[in-house]
Chains A and B, each alone.
Chain A
Amino acid sequence: MKSCSEHTGTAFVFLKYSITIYSYSMGLFGKIFGKKEKESLEKGMEKTRTGFLSKITKAIAGKSTVDEEVLDELETALIAADVGLDTTIHIINQVEKRVKEDKYVSTSELNTLLKDEIAQLLVDHSKADEPASIPKPYVILVVGVNGVGKTTTIGKLAYQFKQAGKSVMLGAADTFRAAAVDQLTIWSERAGVPIIKQPMGSDPAAVAFDAAKSAVAKDIDVLLIDTAGRLQNKQHLMDELSKIKRSITKVIPGAPHEVMLVLDGSTGQNALEQARQFTAATDVSALVITKLDGTAKGGVVLAIAHQFQIPVKYIGVGEKIDELLSFDKKAFVDTLFE
């Protein structure tokens, strides 16, 4: 162990050092800063729904009109569902505005109001869902932080596409996490689809490249590419992801046609950062929210839709191969306040 004074000494040097770097980089990046500143939805969903709904219902039970207290409790319910401060405030403000305009709003009308507001957050941003002619192979790159459910989702998707009569192929571009390739291989067997893989430790971009080539050669309809979990603040890993993406484009111009960011439904506000950074690295086009069979409310969906205009495509509601549902905005909102 180093002595105390040595610790403090080093710390002191480093403090200066960091401030030095800090000030320097502020100078260095000053311009950038300035610019930037200017600038059978059934089982699983039910739990999400009832949790959320019961809170709101409780909040307005026994009241005939929407008052300050009702709004407060509504706010609490939204926060408790991980909707986050910004989006919660946005929703409350919208509701408040409408309440003021209409003078008298009953609590049952509040449901409709809320439904409207939330639907608007979700619907407004959804892009045209399916392109007129689906390219072939249709390549989906699956990305996300560690342990969110990427590999499982790929297994489930492969199964769904196969059921729909498509030919499917998997690409095992997680060559990093222990036994990741084995895990995806088991899913490929469960779904009954081929898998392109290389030994652990291979270059993931090379695996993706191979998979794309093979999908073209074999005239595959849908190619699903798994990637290693990575935390969004690790720039080199995000760069690696961009590289994987580019290697796919090299083989198939315009691919990947979909970049799916998988988010764990129990994640809090960090999910926003995940959406931001993964989008910066790979242009995320759709979200998958997993583990909504748990007690987490998945309110993060609203916050992300509000801020990033990325549509949610699927939700995971269990570990079995058929426990992936299409995210139906209308149904989601409708059932939320039924």
Chain B
Amino acid sequence: MFNNLTDKLESAFKNIKGEGRINELNIANTLKDIRRALIDADVNYKIAKEFTDKVKEKAVGEKVLNAISPGQLMVKIVKDELASLMGGTQAAFSISGKPAIILIAGLQGSGKTTLSGKLAYFLKNKKGKNPLLVAADVYRPAAINQLHVLGEQVGVDVYSESDNKDVVLIAQNAIAEAKKLNKNVVIIDTAGRLAIDEEMMTEVAHIKEAVNPSEILFVVDSMTGQDAVNTAKAFNDRLDFTGVVLTKLDGDTRGGAALSIKYTVEKPIKFVSNGEKMEMLDEFYPERMAQRILGMGDITSLVEKAQENYDEEQAKKLEKKIRRNQFDFQDFLEQLQQIKKMGNLKDIMGMIPGMGKAIKDVDIKDDAFKGIEAIIKSMTPFERANPDIITQSRRQRLARGSGKDISEINALMKQFDQMRQMMKNMNKMPIPKMPGFKR
């Protein structure tokens, strides 16, 4: 609905140019827009209201400076407030106790078993621990098997009892076993349950009492709608959990549930799960989440993805070339190949701010760059390095060489020119501050 809240706010504020300050009157519509953007992102409607009230308090009276437009200022206030609400005190992940016990709980299908496997992987490989996984979901068909398979994948032992339905006993036996095996962390995967299922909620509360966990993680699907607050509250009332894990963040949900939950239970979001592979577990970055909720794209993740796939040397070389306005076709070709390495083209473009919605309905084929590559590949090295010398006759040759129409060659040349022009302009800009970057 809101492709870009920033754009929207920009235009909403056009009329207050010259007023100098944000006031109750000129902010009213804007607040409505913000509230709607939040609701559209699945933030609970009550929280969205309280949030905009807070933003109003912060914004009214703010001086509108020349350097920054009122729209941008508002976005900044909103984003900062969102981030600070979702972040706050970053409680450490507690793995004390001999062994330390971690209890995993949540609704059906929220991703508990996968998370259990990921945690085991994380603790083993990143924290040097020796964990034991415990299968305490005795209800869902093949749940025990699922955990065994994941345990095998990450090289962590799994404790289960096939004939026992008493999960409290299973948990206790598992801890005894862990002690025997010298395990220092025990991760207990439990069955999914509805917050209103009295019997099942009592069961998980009993497990808690029996094993005294140092961490109780509430696992919640990031696509959850307005109901997130009810569920989080019910689980928190029963378990007083220590942290929240947001799952399936590799999807395209805006993830407003993150704000709703944090706001309601005031418990830190300790991890985010963003993929089906065992190593895909991440810290929670409030700033990124704020941008995501506001539909501002996820430039930080994009940058990270680039860093993962980018060769530092090559990046420096490229940066130099761009700075000197020497970006040529060879560089362009290399870039295209880099992008392809980064994965699915549409996914990547989706991370570019403002692009997300625009490409939703467009069928971007992964071989979208094939034609361009073919044209560049039929250039001589000299032509690639000197785009300006590619005259009409050379273009004719390129068309024949690549099997393309001359108009396509011309279009490419024109676009390449525009691109270089844009880079030139960018060079005049100061280095932008990257959101969420550790400094």
Contacts and interface: CB of A to CB of B under 8 A. Distances in A.
A294 B36 CA distance: 26
Contacts of A84: 40
Contacts of A146: 109, 111, 248, 276
B42 interface: yes
Interface in B67-106: none
Interface in B368-420: 368, 372, 411, 415, 418-419
Given A9-B319, A23-B419, A297-B227, A269 B109 contact: no
Interface string A75-118: 01001111011100000000000000000000000000000000
A233 B360 CA distance: 9
B141 A186 contact: yes
Contact of A268 (B145, B226, B230): B226
Nearest to A200: B149
B125 interface: no
B227 A270 contact: no
Interface string A15-31: 11111111111011100
A6 interface: yes
Interface SS of A by simple majority: helix
A54 interface: no
Interface residues of B, number: 90
B335 A17 contact: yes
Interface in A143-177: 145-149, 155, 176-177
A36 B42 contact: no
A178 B109 contact: no
B223 A268 contact: yes
Contacts, number: 246
B38 to A, nearest CB: 11
Interface residues of A, number: 77
A234 B344 contact: yes
B164 to A, nearest CB: 18
Contacts of A28: 368, 372, 415
A243 B334 CA distance: 31
B227 A296 contact: yes
A6 B312 contact: yes
Nearest to B415: A27
Interface stretch (B9-17, B173-181, B204-212, B300-308): B300-308
Interface of B: 1, 36, 39-42, 45, 107-111, 113, 139-143, 145-150, 153, 194-196, 221, 223-228, 230-231, 248, 250-254, 256-257, 276, 299, 302-303, 306-307, 310, 312, 315-316, 318-319, 322, 335, 339, 344, 346-347, 349-350, 352, 355, 358-364, 366, 368, 372, 411, 415, 418-419, 422-423, 426, 431-432, 434, 437-439
Given A264-B109, A266-B221, 19 more contacts: A9-B319, A13-B315, A14-B303, A17-B318, A21-B352, A25-B364, A29-B359, A33-B358, A82-B225, A232-B251, A233-B347, A234-B250, A266-B224, A269-B225, A270-B251, A271-B225, A294-B196, A294-B231, A319-B140
6 contacts: A15-B434, A18-B352, A28-B368, A85-B39, A270-B253, A294-B107
